Chain A
């Protein structure tokens, strides 16, 4: 079943175009990473999906129009923006009471269970909690809601590596199943690299890459080229080249460049690039982003 379907999403703030004809198709049971530089339109896209902002174009989330039916939609959608969002004056017990009061799908016992694994005291005010604890609390609230779509906008911003690891671990182990969908934006790409099932790059309001992780792995290849084969390697038109410790590392897009895996493998040491490497290759400089716009779009 389709979870999010968008066609030609467009949104401008004055002269700044935040979304410039975005098409999205997210199936149920996926974990989509929406990656892009600052100001690329990630948050605007998420806000549109959550019904927080109106925009032009066609948009259905779980079969509903988010802008027209936000209240109804929020029974099936959960949302963690960044850690500053929980009201600082609230007590932990009040947060539990309130969500239990207004949310038909909230399982209080489950939330209490998650909280029991943390050091969070029920009587604390949220302003007294550390940043990591606030995120734990928010995650406990959200994971106790039987929702079908979870939207995470920089959920682990400002957290240390232990909290970040724990965050995604709980999400995968205690929450995710094939009826749920997760959309996450983050700058800490390494954290989500092995969590995602789908990957999307967004730049200047446009989707410049949209592929599943399987496709990503079979399509992109990074090779540390032997010095004597650099010229030959460049002849195969890599989409990016960088120098590390005097060695050239070239990144190939096998689908677009029509290069065979064996051809590239003959050039040197081969591996799947990290998401960060591909991101830098496609969006790292003006040339790169232009190349991405012409080559990368698959849908």
Chain B
């Protein structure tokens, strides 16, 4: 719509006036994210493959299901929901770890690969700002992967649930009604909450990885990890303390204690395979300084990555 094939000088001047409005601000962002998915197909292939493998294992386990249900029914008149939810919880955790690994490897390569293969010159020859580029890359581990994991987990668990009920109904082992009680919807809500929490809590980690990938000339993996080790070692030797180590540990696993009440009302620890909706604590999470400090640090890393990309040339 914006140009004509035989551009006469005068009319191409007209098109210069009208054309720029044709693209809205969000379009470069949308296409940049799509571009990332084209280049890094592991973003969706890895979680899909893991889900498929898990499904395979689950299908095989269905053969023993009627037998084990009779056993359970014989010994415990009322099996705990937690036990029923166990395979579902395993599936969730497996996909979370997959997403974490994919996110780490993706982020470390995101701003490094384009310099390595010199394609940064092509990307920079198009009207896409460094800010849009860096944000589109940051959105992969922070938005796209969590959403993908959520969708895949929901579908996987739904299939598992339907199969569980079907097998038990057909085999006549009873206990199918138990599965009907499994609060699948509640579990998915908790998952969505958990994914949001993890993305926010891990934002500074991904920000750091993106920064390193934009800065390092080679071996971004080493540059990302070694400074942390070095700081921890120096601290240990110089002051005989491990605050930095605790800080890192807290950044890796600290979201759980902040975002969930890990003990129920009776003080009994909650099983991580099945966290009831009642244990979700968004207020506690949002009021924890660690979250906001982390987000500030993440923003600072991303700003630095944007600035760095302006100056970066192929390596």
User: Interface on A for B, CB 8 Å cutoff?
Assistant: 47, 50, 52-54, 70-72, 74-81, 84-91, 94, 97-99, 101-107, 109-110, 113, 144, 146, 148, 177-179
Contact = CB atoms under 8 A, between A and B. Distances in A.
B39 A87 contact: yes
A105 B32 contact: no
B241 interface: no
Contact of B126 (A53, A90, A103, A110): A103
Nearest to B124: A52
A126 to B, nearest CB: 10
A177 B23 contact: no
Contacts of A105: 2-3, 15, 19-20
A144 B114 CA distance: 24
B36 to A, nearest CB: 11
Interface in B6-40: 7, 9, 12-13, 15-16, 19-23, 27-28, 30-32, 34-35, 38-39
B28 A107 contact: no
B127 A146 contact: no
A98 B31 contact: yes
B23 A104 contact: yes
A104 B20 CA distance: 6
Interface stretch (B45-53, B115-123, B204-212, B259-267): B115-123
A85 B2 CA distance: 27
Contacts of B13: 179
Given A88-B117, A101-B27, A105-B19, A146 B3 contact: yes
Contacts of A85: 118-119, 121-122
B313 interface: yes
Contact of B125 (A54, A79, A90, A107): A79
Given A84-B118, A89-B39, A146 B7 contact: yes
A74 B12 contact: no
Given A86-B119, A87-B122, A102 B9 contact: no
Contacts of B129: 70-71
A146 B121 contact: no
A77 B16 CA distance: 13
B249 interface: no
A206 to B, nearest CB: 23
A157 to B, nearest CB: 13
A109 B19 CA distance: 16
B3 A110 contact: yes
Contacts of B148: none
A88 B119 CA distance: 8
B9 A177 contact: yes
